[in-house]
Structures are given as C-alpha cells and as structure tokens.
Amino acid sequence: MAINNKNHPQRRRATRTDVAKLANVSTAVVSYVFNNGPRAVAPDTSKRVREAAKLLNYHPNPTARALRTGYSKMLGVIVPDSSNPFSAGIYDELQTVAMRRGYSVLFMNVRSDPELEEQAIRQLLERNVDAIFLSSSRSYTQLSMAHLEECRFVFMDQPHRVTNAKSVSTDYFHSGLTATQHLIEHRHCSVDMLFGGSPDDRGDARIQGWYAAHQNANLPAGRIRQAFFTREGGYRATLDLIDSGRPPQAIFAGSDLEAMGALRALHERRLRIPDDVSIVSFDGTIDSLYTWPQLTTMQQDTVKIASCAINAALEPDQVPDVQTIKADMVVRHSCGC
C-alpha cells in the first residue's frame, strides 16, 4: 500500500537557531557548548542549552562542522581479518576509546589483501576522516615508501618508525623471549615455533625473541613452521612436526588461533598436553580460556594499545613516533605449571 506523504509530512530537523531561541542565548553560545569552545560558557548556561537541545532532539550537523573546523570527528579503521578474535577485541577497544573522545568510527575489512587495503584507504580519505588506523599487510619497506601525507596514519602491530606516521605495537621481542624461556625452564631441550608469516622472515621480533631464549640457554634453536596465524595453519603445521619423525617437546605458537589448531593436532595424535608436549601461545584472547587444556599465553594489553593509538592520532605532538607495550604472561595449564 502506497503511503501518502502529504498526510505524513517529514518532521523538520531542529536547528542551532531553534535551540538558541528556546535557551534564550545566541547561536554562537550554542556553538561554543557543542564544540567545547573556543569561548568558555558558564555551567548554568551550558546546562540550559543542552536541555533545550534535548527537548528539540537537536544534534549538530557533522558535515557542517567538518566544513567549518576542518575536522570530521570521524576515524577510519582498516581491519585485516574480522574473524580473528584478537582483531575483534583490539578494534572493539579502539571504538570504545574513540567514542569517549567524541569520535565516530568507520570500519573496513580488507581480508589481509594489499589491493583492498589501498582501496579502503582511498575511500576513507574521500570521507575526510581525521585519522586512519590499520594493521597493514604491506611490508615495512613498502610502508616506508608509501605517501602518507594526506591524513594522519597510525599503524597497529608495527614496532618500527614509519615516516609521516605513528606506530603502536606490543613488545614482540620480549613476548617471544619470555614465552620460550618459560618452556625451557620446564626442562625442554628446544622449543618449536608456529609462525604466521614466512619462516624465513627472521626480522620478526617474535622470532628474534624465540631465538635469543635458546642462545641464552646455550641450546640449539627448535624448528619454525609456517602456520598463517590461523587455526587450520596451526593444525597442519603441528601435524607436520609430529609426523617428521621427531615429535615436538614444546611449542611457542605465534597466535592463540595457531595454538588452537595445534591442540587439535596433538589430541588427534593422542599426545598429552602438557605431559608429552607443552604449549605457550601469543595474544591472550578470551578464547584461550576455553580450550582444553586452557592455554598459557602472552596476553596483549588491548586497552592500553587502543588508548595509545587514539592518543597518537589525536595528540601526535604529545607521544613518540613508536609506542611499544609489554605483554604479560598468563599461566594456565598448557605449559605444565
């Protein structure tokens, strides 16, 4: 059934002028209240303006404000993999901190595809976002050559300085070192590693920490297997280790997802955890509480990472170009403690 729009006229949106009339102030005062300046407004007057705005269901026009101030109060977040529990957790915290600061967030999932990442950046720039947050699928060399002058960029999980950008990262080296040392302290002669990137990428700080722990203990380093930071990757990489003729004694998994895949492989081969094989993972997502056995993990501080990232975007002159955040070990059952 067709609706007669003449009988149902659209309600006119309240304007700043309407609020000013109801509150008995000038339109400039309304602007000062909702923009937090540039001039101070007496608390009683500010309260009267906000009550008038509430009665009229008035909301400032974000497009007009962006044209007037040059800021959209909008942040863009490029998510590499929305199915990853750690990604979901960190970007949920990022949105929470942004909203507390009065910003809205636009999310774009690019499935770790460099071409989709480039397309997402262009679309966010067209939306005039004030900053873009991303865990880039591009290499550090590619990022160093990128043109990042059009907007403020904050790179997540990037432990190195990127020109014209800010970086926020967990301390990967300390995490790899601590996790591996913990397993070596359980009298394991070597610790194999599941790693999402290429096993030849010795520049990754998690691998460097893993390797340093073996050196510090005067032990030969274990084996690295590529696991793609996924459950399936961890599963297949662990089967490869088991079927190699030299089953693993201990495993440091580069993510909780890889560790979950490893647990399945070990269960299927009837290897006991931690009696036959000990595991420590990296990430510390909520899922690590619900595996069997529960995972000992290097837990990333998602709240602090999000807070540091927002500060890097909104107060760039107040923070260093690279912020590194310590992960804490959460000891449960999979390591043998």
- The reported pLDDT for the residue numbered 67 is 47
Q: What CA–CA distance (Å, rounded) separates 93 from 98?
A: 9
What is the CATH architecture of 172-300? 3-Layer(aba) Sandwich (3.40)
Per the CB < 8 A criterion, the answer to whether 42 and 23 are in contact is no
271: pLDDT strictly greater than 70: yes
Task: Read off the pTM.
Answer: 0.79
How confident is the model over 128-165, as pLDDT tens digits? 899 999 988 777 677 766 767 778 999 998 888 888 89
Query: pLDDT band at 111, cuts 50/70/90?
Result: confident
Helix 43-56 vs helix 27-35: angle between axes, to the nearest 10 degrees? Answer: 100
- Two structure tokens written together for 316: 């760039």
Which position has the token pair 């890889």? 258
Per the CB < 8 A criterion, the answer to whether 35 and 46 are in contact is no
Q: What CA–CA distance (Å, rounded) separates 276 from 272?
A: 5
Which position has the token pair 């990757």? 233
Higher pLDDT, 17 or 150: 17
Share of the chain above pLDDT 70, in %: 90
Q: What CA–CA distance (Å, rounded) separates 75 from 253?
A: 32
- Two structure tokens written together for 79: 């998510």
- The reported pLDDT for the residue numbered 202 is 58
Pick the CATH number of 16-60 from 1.10.1060.10, 3.40.720.10, 2.40.30.10, 1.10.260.40: 1.10.260.40
Q: What CA–CA distance (Å, rounded) separates 24 from 317?
A: 39
- Residue range(s) in the chain whose domain bears CATH number 3.40.50.2300: 74-170+302-326, 172-300
- Residue range(s) in the chain whose domain bears CATH number 1.10.260.40: 16-60
Q: What is the mean pLDDT of the chain?
A: 89
Q: Which CATH superfamily is domain 74-170+302-326 in?
A: Response regulator (3.40.50.2300)
